[in-house]
């Protein structure tokens, strides 16, 4: 899933050039940064000492520095090309201007592109979606029917239910800009509050049988503004929310159109920490086989 989401974001950011050999080092460095972030020891240190430890870590600085250097090299190449080069987000940013007409600084370009390219939790959510579907074969069959012959209503519901049951992050952090009375406490401006998405999404007041994977709860019904917040909320809601849902739907549709999936084993679910999110344990193996389709009256194997 990480390989898929990396390929998607590379195509979005760099356009047709995403497969160019000169971008291969950047791909490898992005994988290296993700690998470093997912190391159990580094995750434990992050949990114990917070983001400040990550920033001070030599390993992180080396991994991130390699990514930043590769990004800036591509920015320099784009700036040297006429009309800002080919299509893609990077070319749009290179040609963008502030309100006063000045161009984005190299530092701003670097920060924007690194943010876009850094592995978000979409790969983890996709992995959970397949895990939940394989643990619930009746839901998988309903989704397959919708993908092949439906209007995408159930596909949308599956994505929303996965985001409810397995939100990308368990909490979202906000700093109060003004005093707030909350739960009987008076909180001054500057207080950090952390709504727990995980608990809100499993609250029986909002969801019947909250621990069950039931996409049907979102069929023909939009989720609540304050009770379904997998991407946070308010003006600080994740900017990539719509993009992430669109990407998930596209991946699910392609996989189910071409592939038959079944779980290797039916044991209880396991989870492990993956950067800022939780992902299915590595033991969650899946058997994938080409799906048989009818073509010109004869059975053929659909390409995977």
Cβ pair 254, 286 in contact under 8 A: no
Cβ pair 261, 288 in contact under 8 A: yes
291 and 154 in a common domain: yes
* C-alpha separations of 166 from 5, 127, 184, 212 in Å: 18, 10, 30, 11
- At 272, is the secondary structure helix, strand, or coil? strand
Helices (H), 166-274: 197-200, 241-258
243 and 133 in a common domain: yes
> Quick one: pLDDT at residue 173?
81
143 and 258 in a common domain: yes
Nearest-angstrom CA–CA distance, 161 and 183: 28
The domain in which residue 97 lies consists of 2-117
Nearest-angstrom CA–CA distance, 158 and 178: 38
Bridge partners, 171 (sequence order): 196
Alpha carbon 121 to chain centroid, angstroms: 3
User: What CATH number is associated with residue 209?
Assistant: 1.10.630.10
247 and 130 in a common domain: yes
109 and 219 in a common domain: no
> Quick one: pLDDT at residue 282?
59
**Domain-ending residue, one of 89, 117, 145:** 117
Q: Which residues of 240-274 are buried (b: 16+ CB within 10 A; e: fewer)?
A: beeebbebbbebbbebbeebebebeeeeeeeeebb
192 and 296 in a common domain: yes
203 and 80 in a common domain: no
Two structure tokens written together for 102: 């000045």
Please tell me whether the overall predicted TM-score, pTM, comes out greater than 0.85 for this model. Answer: no
Number of domains in the chain: 2
Name the one residue in this structure whose structure tokens are 């994740």: 238
Nearest-angstrom CA–CA distance, 25 and 11: 15
138 and 54 in a common domain: no
Task: Give average pLDDT by consecutive 10-residue segment, the chain, 304 residues.
Answer: 87 83 90 81 72 85 92 84 65 81 85 78 88 92 94 96 91 89 94 91 96 95 93 81 91 93 67 59 76 53 42
106 and 30 in a common domain: yes
**Domain-ending residue, one of 98, 117, 136:** 117
**Domain-ending residue, one of 97, 117, 137:** 117
Q: Please report the sign of the dihedral spanned by the C-alpha atoms of residue 170, residue 175, residue 177, residue 182.
A: positive
Which of 107, 104, 80, 106 lies closest to 92 in space, CA to CA? Answer: 104
151 and 94 in a common domain: no
Q: What are phi and psi of 97, to 5 degrees?
A: -135, 155
Nearest-angstrom CA–CA distance, 260 and 24: 31
Which of 203, 202, 206, 221 lies closest to 157 in space, CA to CA? Answer: 221
64 and 23 in a common domain: yes
Which of 15, 40, 37 lies closest to 91 in space, CA to CA? Answer: 15
Nearest-angstrom CA–CA distance, 48 and 130: 31
Contacts of 220 (CB under 8 A, 6+ apart): 153
243 and 160 in a common domain: yes
């Amino acid at each position: 899933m990480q390989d898929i989401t990396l390929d998607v974001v590379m195509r979005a950011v760099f356009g047709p050039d995403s497969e160019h050999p000169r971008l291969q080092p950047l791909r490898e460095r992005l994988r290296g940064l993700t690998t470093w972030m997912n190391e159990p020891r580094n995750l434990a240190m992050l949990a114990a000492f917070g983001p400040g430890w990550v920033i001070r870590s030599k390993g992180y600085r080396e991994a991130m520095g390699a990514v930043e250097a590769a990004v800036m090299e591509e920015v320099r190449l784009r700036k040297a090309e006429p009309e800002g080069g080919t299509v893609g987000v990077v070319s749009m940013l290179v040609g963008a201007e502030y309100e006063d007409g000045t161009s984005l600084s190299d530092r701003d370009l670097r920060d924007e592109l690194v943010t876009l390219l850094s592995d978000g939790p979409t790969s983890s959510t996709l992995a959970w979606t397949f895990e939940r579907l394989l643990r619930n074969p009746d839901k998988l069959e309903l989704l397959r029917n919708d993908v092949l012959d439906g209007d995408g209503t159930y596909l949308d519901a599956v994505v929303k239910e996965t985001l409810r049951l397995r939100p990308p992050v368990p909490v979202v952090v906000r700093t109060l800009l003004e005093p707030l009375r909350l739960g009987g406490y008076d909180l001054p401006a500057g207080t950090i509050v952390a709504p727990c998405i995980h608990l809100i999404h499993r609250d029986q007041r909002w969801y019947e049988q909250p621990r069950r994977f039931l996409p049907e709860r979102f069929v023909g019904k939009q989720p609540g503004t304050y009770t379904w917040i997998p991407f946070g909320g308010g003006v600080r809601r994740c900017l990539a929310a719509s993009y992430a849902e669109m990407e998930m739907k596209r991946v699910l549709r392609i996989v189910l159109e071409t592939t038959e999936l079944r779980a290797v084993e039916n044991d209880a679910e396991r989870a492990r920490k993956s950067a800022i999110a939780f992902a299915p344990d590595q033991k969650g193996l899946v058997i994938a086989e080409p799906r048989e389709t009818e073509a010109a009256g004869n059975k053929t194997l659909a390409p995977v």
